[in-house]
Amino acid sequence: MKQLLLLVVFTTSLTGAIAQSKLANDGQFIFLKNGNLLDEAVFYYDDKDYETALPFYKALEQKYPDDVAFTYRLGVCYTYSKTEANKSIEYLLKAKYVDSSIAELNYQLGRAYYTNYEFDKATTYLTTFINQYPAHPITKSAKELLRSTQNGKTVMHNATANYLVFNADSAVNTVYAEYAPLVDASNKKLYYTMRGDTNIVNGKHDKLITTFDYNENIMLQSGDKFALPQSLPKPINSRKHDATLALVKNKLYIYRDKKRRGSGDFFEVTNGKVIPLKGINTKAWEGSATFFNEGNTVVFSSIRKHGTGGRDLYIATRKDDNKWNTAQLLPTINTELDEDAPYFDVDKNELYFSSKGHNAIGGYDVFNSKYNNGTFEIPINIGYPINSIADDIYYTKATASEYYFASNRMGGFGSYDIYKSCTVNTNAPYKGLAILSGKLKNVAPNKTFKVYAQNTASNTQELVGNFSANEFDNNIAFPLQSGIVYTIAPANNVDSITTLKKITIDLTANTKQTVTQQFDFLKPISVPVIATFVTPVEKPTEANTLPVETPKQVATTFAIKPIYFKLNSSKVSAAQEEYLKTFALDLKQKSIPQLEILGYTDPTGSIKLNNKLAQRRAEAVASLLRRYGAKVKYWTVKGVGVYPNCTNADEKCRVAVMNPVWD
């Protein structure tokens, strides 16, 4: 199912104590002295294993907060986090403030805003990077990401609230990877593929499993959706890679990679035997397939020499019981990027598949194409919330209104989870996407919580996903869809959720809303929706839904003094520094979302020199506030130039002013 890549990595041991790092002229980092912590961070970062590198750079940045190298790389790592991607912007902006010459900085900021669904800002930074570095090695990637960003704006604009997406259940999904779901005609059996170190074949662990190379196994969950899934016995599962492929009239087709080299083939399970599909299987990789026309037509994915590009979809018809005619490319379906995971809905006469091309908003998106008179029409992106900026793949039908698919989106249990989508009966206005983002207060580290969505059609609570207090700082992040009422509850007693104290967030109104109490904030993403929320109390037996209130204007009042400078100087006086120290402590206690610092000069001197002096004055104030621990999420530090209406060398014009920004 998934191609395997064997990597042999050679590394040089680095010794010594961490001291500092700097940027070379080409924007690359040169580490002068280092130790074990840095060894690990650099090893995983250079191997593009950013999630593993993340905790190492967290520790480095906390120990050396003024080191732009650590700040920058921490920001990059956060963009790949499934739970803390919202933090990436803060650290990348901090790096940009310290050293805006980092070559890839605008690209990474574009990625960060894209990851957080802030497509307008992502477009700005990506466009800037492309214009700055047209021949840079990652400019091609920047252009592809810009295309996804522009697609995202369109897809989100056209999104509806007709679908509810929720995590299948914790019995199926684990901390590892689950994908390629198949549902039988009775809707009582769920077949799927699992890849993780809990893979067990006939009661024995696979001896070939290593940390970096798990076997794929075919799993089955029967009856009750909370029943423990079982690994299927021989001949379906073997000692190699085995994965779900298709169900045709309850006949199972599977994928198997006998040699574990990423060149797997398709097999039909018949009368206790596993029979290869002749005419379909080649020396190339065949990955996923769907059958229709009474099982006599197959659409499948493969990587072949004369394909359109990457993974392509092919179609073939059956010659006899176990032989197939030569496969043909699907011209309207394939792009120069990857297409995979086809599923044909015989009731709708539509082909569903996942693609990185067309107008995908990121990774794989699910598309559908009408099938008329032997021809597939131009594919259509089925939109948000089924599609996200992550990989959304293996879309398959359960009932007329329910579908399963796999995704590695934020909020899942593991690398890939199986999700379920269903239509909901709601007329609620759709306002877009928001990211639940904040800090859990008075909560033990690593305590797990679950997010439920209210299904208005059945009036039931559906599990959407989970999150846990971060090991280091209790921060959490989770994507929410407008038009749905959400409930946050402790992970224990999930079967008795109606007896738990609930926190309900209703994002359907036109105005900003707040659920009062202790959670910090809900960050709006390109939509005017914001909420604050609370952690469940220690007594989980009390049923209660908190009221939703209109947020009030922040009561804190800042009486901020201007900072004055001597002629042609950007040095802050001792008295002014004492004031900034006090003000920084105030900001640390009363955190504000954004602080704008503007530097000015009097009209003496040239425009060029005045602009530079104004910038230095603003930066001098910002530097001192940072030094004394001011807690500000976003900083705007700008040299404006000559103070408005200033006509002489007046001290009042040689100033830096500070303005808190609340919106």
pLDDT of residue 480: 54
The rounded distance, in Å, linking the Cα atoms of 269 and 275 is 6
Give Cα 24 distance to the centre of its chain: 31
Residue 265 near residue 256, CB atoms below 8 Å: yes
The domains of the chain are located at 21-157, 163-421, 433-549, 563-661
Mean local confidence (pLDDT), 625-633: 80
Contact criterion met (CB below 8 Å) for 273 and 281: no
Q: Report which residue type is found at 83.
A: T
Quote the Cα angle for 296-302-305, to 5°: 120
The reply to whether 21-157 and 563-661 are identical in fold is no
Query: What integer is the mean pLDDT of 559-577?
Result: 87
127-159 tens-digit pLDDT: 999 999 999 999 999 999 999 999 999 888 777
547 by Cβ neighbours in 10 Å (0-12 / 13-18 / 19+) ranks as exposed
Confidence of residue 162 (pLDDT cuts 50, 70, 90): low
143 or 492, greater pLDDT = 143
Of the candidates 306, 329, 305, 307, the one whose C-alpha atom is nearest the C-alpha of residue 316 is 329
Strand order in 230-231's β-sheet? Answer: 177-183, 189-195, 216-222, 230-231
Q: In CATH terms, is domain 163-421 a member of 2.120.10.30?
A: yes
- pLDDT over threshold 90, residue 209: no
**Partners of 422 in the beta sheet?**
164, 402
| Tokens at 373, concatenated | 């008179």
Mean pLDDT of 179-197: 88
Question: Which is it for strands 433-439 and 521-524: parallel, antiparallel or unpaired?
Answer: antiparallel
For the segment 371-380, the average pLDDT, to the nearest whole number, is 92
Of 12-26, 425-439, 610-624, highest mean pLDDT: 610-624
Confidence of residue 591 (pLDDT cuts 50, 70, 90): low
Q: Is residue 334's pLDDT more than 90?
A: yes
- Residue 504 is predicted with a pLDDT of 42
pLDDT band at 605 (very low <50, low <70, confident <90, very high): confident
What is the structure's pLDDT at 226?
59
For residue 514, what are the CA distances in angstroms to 522, 531, 549? 9, 4, 5
82-86, 238-242, 645-649, 653-657: the lowest-pLDDT one? 645-649
Task: Provide, rounded to the nearest whole percent, the portion of the chain with pLDDT above 70.
Answer: 69
Q: What is the pLDDT of residues 513-525, one digit of tens each?
A: 333 223 322 222 2
Out of 247-251, 462-466, 484-488, 604-608, give the one with best mean pLDDT.
247-251
Residue 456: pLDDT over 60: no
Farthest CA pair distance, the chain: 96
| Among the four given CATH numbers 3.30.565.10, 3.30.1330.60, 2.40.50.220, 3.30.300.30, the one describing domain 563-661 | 3.30.1330.60
Asked if the model's pLDDT at residue 8 lies above 50, the reply is no
| Three-class secondary structure of residue 628 per DSSP | coil
The pLDDT confidence band at residue 481, using thresholds 50, 70 and 90, is: low
Average pLDDT over residues 576-593: 82
Residue 550 pLDDT more than 70?
no
At residue 491, the pLDDT reads 46
pLDDT at 555 over 70: no
Highest mean pLDDT among 22-26, 79-83, 217-221, 545-549: 217-221
pLDDT at 512: 33
Structure token digits, residue 383: 């939109």
pLDDT band at residue 197 using 50, 70 and 90 as cut-offs: low
Average pLDDT, the chain: 74
**For 21-157, which CATH superfamily applies?**
Tetratricopeptide repeat domain (1.25.40.10)
Give me the mean pLDDT over the 334-360 stretch. 94
Per-residue pLDDT at 518:
30
Our separate counts of H helices and E strands in the chain read: 9, 40
Does residue 527 have a pLDDT over 80?
A: no
| Predicted local confidence at residue 373, as pLDDT | 86
Q: Between helices 88-98 and 105-115, what is the axis angle to 10°?
A: 160
Q: Phi and psi of 619, rounded to 5°?
A: -70, -35
Both tokens of 367, joined, read 């598309």
Torsion of CA 309, 310, 316, 321, to 10 degrees: 160
Of 651 and 430, the one with more pLDDT: 651
CB 464 within 8 A of CB 410: no
Which has the minimum average pLDDT: 260-269, 390-399, 433-442, 640-649?
Answer: 433-442
